[in-house]
Amino acid sequence: MAGILQGSDLVETAIQIEKNGAAFYDEMAKSAKEESVREKASFFAGEERKHLEIFQDMLSSVGESQPVETYPGEYTLYVKTLADQHIFTKEKDAQAQARKAPSDIEAIDFALGIERDSILFYSEMKNFIRKGTHEAVDKIIEEERKHFRQFAELKKQISES
């Protein structure tokens, strides 16, 4: 399969996403007006750092896989596009996004998008890594889903108050 990405390439991308996610949530915690938003953002910054450690540990043990494609390079292009389009490819961009949110609700909406994109990226990443590492990625995906639900609940609470 031409141009296949190595599992390590995607894990390194995941490492950068988690670093930048932590930077975003740290900045969100600093700029939030509501105490509940500050607390939740600080909590999620810590969660992103935990994910970062898991991916760093995983880096040495990933392999590569060759997903089924309808044309050569199809899956590589798809996953590379997912990674390139992910909002957290640069730390300064992540911090700027948190600072420029005009309100806590807009910051939460942005965070919901981050969590959704992370779930999609990590779900697709599993096709490129050794099956023995899937359990760790599945755990992270479930945590990202939980974060999504928690932010959705927080948004609802703030909107109702």
Give residue-wise pLDDT tens across range 54-67.
888 877 776 555 66
Only one residue has tokens 């108050």, namely 161
DSSP H or E run through 158: helix 134-160
CA trace torsion 83, 88, 93, 97 (10° rounding) = 120
Q: CB–CB of 83/121 below 8 Å?
A: yes
Q: CB–CB of 148/115 below 8 Å?
A: yes
Give residue-wise pLDDT tens across range 112-155.
988 898 898 888 878 777 777 788 888 889 988 999 999 999 99
Q: Is the pLDDT of residue 83 over 90?
A: no
Q: For 63, list phi and psi in degrees, rounded to 5.
A: -120, -165
Residue type, 147: H
Start-to-end Cα distance in the chain: 54
Q: What is the pLDDT of residue 66?
A: 61
Q: What is the pLDDT of residue 33?
A: 92
DSSP for 17-61, please give it: HHHHHHHHHHHHHHH-SSHHHHHHHHHHHHHHHHHHHHHHHHGGG
Q: What is the pLDDT of residue 38?
A: 94
Q: CB–CB of 151/112 below 8 Å?
A: yes
- Structural domains of the chain in order of their starting residue, each with its CATH number: 7-61+69-160 (1.20.1260.10)
